[in-house]
Structure 1
Amino acid sequence: MTTAAPRPTDHRSRLRDTKTAPYWLDRPEHPAPLPRLTADTTCDLAVVGGGYTGLWTALLAKRDHPERDVLVLEQNTCGHAASGRNGGFCSPSLTHGLANGVERWPAEARLLHRLGLENLDAFRRDLDTHGIDCGFTRGGKVTVAATPWQAEGLKGAHALAHRFGEHTRLLDGAQLREYVDSPVWTAGLWSPDYALLDPARLVWGLRAACLDLGVRIAEHTEVTALTARHTGRVRLATPYAAVGARQVALATNIYRPLLKRLSLSMIPVYDYALTTEPLRDDQLAAVGWSGDHGITDAGNQFHYLRKTDDHRILFGGYDAVYHYGSPVDEARTQRPATFDTLAAQFAEAFPALAGVRFSHAWGGVIDSTTRFCMFAGTAARGRVSYALGFTGLGVGATRYGAQVMLDLLAGRRTERTRPAMIRRPPVPFPPEPVRYLGVEATRRSMAREDVDGRRNLWLRTLDRLGLGFDS
């Protein structure tokens, strides 16, 4: 799928009764909010942020040291932001894909690849250990191509994967139809080491496991300032109370990171998705989708698709929207123009599902960096750590980021802290207006490459500088 056109005339009617809420969070089992912090307190470890990264950090810290007093501070409710709005793709990669890791850290690519696979295995074990039922299924992923140059790119990805011991498989038209049957896609690449899960059930399960171990969680408690004191404690200010913490882990995603040095490290990119109404078995059979695998396409402006437990299709991606000045605004997570585009593209991809309506439409914010993957570090003489910038592929990598933060706070030199992706920060984004102009030039250039297969001078220059922008 290279453009939003042609648009079937009836696609808008399929959005008529759509709920403007994340599908995953729109459920009766959504846990009741926990009380906000209203009295000053102290703790051994304060975790700022109640998404995946923060909850993994609290869980692993408390499990390893049950005597440690751990407090999670969440400005809304746990999972309200990216952790409850993503597609539920759980990648084994820590580097936003193998190719990105090889390009940026060739000398450490095999180490990073192994650490990613080990992290995914440990992720599954931890789910079992703590009884977290989030529908984790290691059903693999198919990357599909719509153009000859995308198909050639899949051949290169297949060769690279085999160099690193991955058992990927190229799929021609007939073989691809065993995984998905669409007139848009002509070739595919099967990757078995990939998992899918329910994002909200994961975050709610991590939250429950933390509470079971004795972690304190305060919701609707925004941290407004961080001050490192000479007393050895770090002071966190909130609207109604203050926290004195021996150590602090910042897991704030794209929200204000509380450290000025990080202000240009990330930009907020808005991503959008739709889910269909539940589909019958014959409807899924009509598009050849009988397995538990996820699907992504090979475009720069790529789509991601997966089935849910109640047989809906989630269809997201394509538009990756940056707004001038880097605002993080809940109102911008609703974008009718993008929902219209996605609905038209869905109709183009699946004409056999004509008439299927969409039940939910929503957006969320991705914390994107110039190198497309997480970074970590410390401040306040090692009393504060952070892991941020997961760039849309953080479901699995957040657990790794949590371990890195705990290693850094403990002063441990481990395999996790050794790679350059941890030791060296990403190149910062420039200030406005250069930032917006650069992002827009990159986005437009990538869209043109999807159409004609040619990488223009701007993109080649970014490649040489090790910079870029990814949807």
Structure 2
Amino acid sequence: MPTSPPQLGGPAFWHAETGGPPVLRPGLEGDTTADVCIVGAGFTGLWSAYYLTQAAPGLRVLVVEKDFAGFGASGRNGGWLTGGFAWRHERYLETGDAAGVRAMVRAMAGTVDEVIRVAGAEGIDARICRTAELLVATNPAQLARARAELDHRRAWGEDRLHLIGAAEARARVAVPGALGALVLDGVARVQPALLVRGLARAVEARGVRIVEGTPATAIAPGIVTTPRGRIRAPLILRATEGFTAGLPGHRRDWLPLNSAQIVTEPLPPAVWAAIGWQGYELLGDMAHGYCYGQRTDDGRIVLGARGVPYRMGSRLDTAGRPDARTVAGLVARLHRHFPAARGARIAHAWCGVLGVPRDWCATVGFDAATGIGWAGGYVGVGVSTANLAGRTMADLMLGRDSDLTRLPWVNRRPRRWEPEPLRWLAVRGLYAALRVADRMEDRGQGGTAALARAAMRIAGR
């Protein structure tokens, strides 16, 4: 266990290592107007503002943020810029065809280079490191799942994937018991707080106005209401992701799913010699209740996983504070995968929410009749997906017919989540079943695939 209690809650480590949360920009001061009002200054809102002003430089864009730019998942995530396709490909056949789904796979993969291109052009130093994603299998069931995942994703045109054996996996990162790993090439590690703050500065330089400390309390055609005044705009974008359930009329649209992370103190060279990880790969595992991690520039391990997955009534966490049981579980996972780091102090722990639609698949859309657009439901891969969403939203809001606006995630409207307590039971039951399946697999027991599939069907995944 850590030698001293970690700092719980408050800003994510990413903000803390840059000196803490930024000083708030001025809030809204009375009623105002804009050509476009964007609610939410995370990656989705800021990328949308960036590409809107790139396409139409004279557009008056106002971004409304209840806290500070990057307060939510954009500043609390694991720093994975993957361009990966994390949803069920078949779901998008409901609004497209197989060729369209493959086009979406290609477009998603292209987000890695696009984010890096913009960061370079705008002088954003987000500590970007090109690398690979490594999903380690530590028992035969996980290895079989990795092989099946490889075949499935290749069938849908994902050509950046390959499987490596035990020796190569352990040579890259010495995870005990590794039997192999699924590798996704062409990804990058980022410092998300630096990326989102830099993007905010970049859009301001293009004339976008960002008001902070200004929560939107209602969104209606042509009007965004806040306690500090009303904004009248013919075009409105709801870019609230995991916080969407707090808006009137949207409580059952996207479920706020919780994820938590810990970060160690910088590890000494002897520990890194035992672990390896010289390629700074994004590291996860093939467990049902998977984890995700990265090695930072200054030699820390950041590790995340699900904690309390969902709170009754779509309640949010308190200032990013994870519960002690969640932190203990993350420390146990850290020690299991990296036993050489057992003596390391846990320097920080935090949590946050991400948006989950009923079918667990991301969407982006625009209703021309109301002038209201939306984007989100990324289910954990928002660092890259939000960039594609921003480019797509710019085309949709400007009335452009493009390859992006024809992708099958555009204007999908999955059904809403059930009333409570049904959605609480479904999500909590799903993760309880997945934990049981993981324990069975670790003991070499069969039957886990059927258990996991049944749980996912119940939860709609």
Which of these residues, 35, 55, 68, is aligned with residue 59 of structure 2?
Answer: 68
Equivalent residue number for residue 407 of structure 1 = 395
- Aligned residue number for residue 270 of structure 1: 258
Is the CA contact 1:249–1:386 (under 8 Å) kept in the aligned structure 2?
Answer: yes
- Contact 2:75–2:192 (CA under 8 A) maintained in structure 1: yes
Match among 42, 51, 72 for residue 33 of structure 2: 42
Residues 392 and 167 of structure 1: CA distance in aligned 2, closer, same or farther (over 3 Å): closer
Matched residues in 1 for 2:216 and 2:154: separation?
A: 46
Q: Where do residues 60-459 of structure 1 align in structure 2 (5 Å cutoff)?
A: 60-93=51-84, 95-96=85-86, 100-102=88-90, 104-105=92-93, 107=98, 108-163=100-155, 164=157, 166-228=159-221, 234-256=222-244, 262-319=250-307, 321-331=309-319, 333-379=321-367, 381-453=369-441, 454-455=447-448, 459=452
Alpha-carbon distance in structure 2 between the residues aligned to 1:126 and 1:202: 10
How far did residue 152 of structure 1 move? 1.0
Q: Using a 3 Å threshold, how does the CA distance of structure 1 residues 309 and 388 change in structure 2: closer, same or farther? A: same
Question: How large is the Cα RMSD of the aligned pairs?
Answer: 2.3
Q: 1:315-349: per-residue Cα shift (whole Å, max 9, x none)?
A: 11143511111112425732111101111221222
Query: Is the contact made by 2:104 and 2:408 (CA closer than 8 Å) also made in structure 1?
Result: no
CA distance in 1 between partners of 2:242 and 2:431 (Å)? 20
The 8 Å contact of residues 64 and 215 in structure 2, kept in 1 or not, is answered as yes
Aligned to 1:6: none
Instruction: Give the counterpart letter for 2:268 in structure 1.
Output: R
Give the partner amino acid of 1:323: R
TM-superposed CA distance for 1:276, in Å, is 0.4
Question: Does the C-alpha gap of structure 1 residues 258 and 311 become closer, same or farther in structure 2, counting only changes over 3 Å?
Answer: closer
Mapped to 1, the partners of 2:431 and 2:111 lie a distance apart of: 32
Gaps of 5+ in 2: 442-446
Residues 264, 430 of structure 1: 8 Å contact kept: yes
Q: Distance in 2 between matches of 1:102 and 1:243?
A: 39
Tell me the amino acid that sits aligned with residue 27 of structure 2.
R
- Relative to the length of structure 1, the TM-score reads 0.89
Deviation of 1:409 (Å)? 1.8
Deviation larger for 329-338 or 451-460: 451-460
Change in 2 beyond 3 A, CA 1:159/1:225: closer
In 2, distance between residues paired with 1:465 and 1:250? 29
The alpha carbon displacement at 1:309 in A equals: 1.7
In 2, distance between residues paired with 1:218 and 1:139? Answer: 36
2:110 counterpart SS class: helix
Structure 1 residues without counterparts, runs of 5 or longer:
1-10, 229-233
Would you say the 8 A contact 2:101–2:407 is kept in 1?
Answer: no
Residues in 1 aligned to 2:308 and 2:165: alpha-carbon distance in whole angstroms: 29
Write out per-residue CA displacement over residues 87-106 of structure 1, whole angstroms, 9 at most, x where no aligned residue.
Answer: 0001212x415xx2256547
Measured after TM superposition, the shift of residue 431 of structure 1 is 0.9
- The count of residues paired between Structure 1 and Structure 2 equals 449
Q: Give the Cα separation in 1 of the matches to 2:8 and 2:435.
A: 29
Aligned residue for 1:139, secondary structure, equals strand
Equivalent residues of 2:430, 2:458 under 8 A apart = no
Residues of 1 paired with 2:163 and 2:44: CA distance? 34
Structure 1 Cα separation of the partners of residues 265 and 158 of structure 2:
39
Deviation at 1:460, TM superposition (A): 3.7
Describe the superposition over 1:199-230 as per-residue Cα deviations: whole angstroms up to 9, x where unpaired: 000110001101111111100011112232xx
CA gap of 1:45–1:86, structure 2 versus 1, over 3 A, is same
Q: Quick one: distance in 1 between partners of 2:406 and 2:247?
A: 23
Measure the CA separation in 2 of the matches of 1:393 and 1:302.
14
The CA distance in 1 between the partners of 2:242 and 2:383, in whole Å, is: 15
Answer with 442-451 or 297-306: which moved more. 442-451
Q: C-alpha separation between the residues in 1 aligned to 2:215 and 2:137? A: 43
Matched residue type, 1:23: F
Deviation, 1:423, is 3.0
**CA displacement at 1:260 relative to structure 2:** 5.8
TM-score, normalized by length of structure 2? 0.91
Q: In structure 2, do the counterparts of structure 1 residues 87 and 448 end up closer, same or farther at CA, with 3 Å as the change threshold?
A: same
Shift of 1:281: 2.6
Q: Report Cα offsets for 1:100-145 as digits up to 9, x if no partner.
A: 2256547133111111122332222212221111122220111001
Task: Give the SS at the match of 2:241.
Answer: coil
Distance 2:139 2:6 in 1: 34
Is the 8 Å Cα contact of residues 105 and 158 (structure 2) preserved in structure 1? Answer: no
- The CA distance in 1 between the partners of 2:34 and 2:6, in whole Å, is 47
Tell me if structure 1 keeps the 8 A contact 2:164–2:180: yes
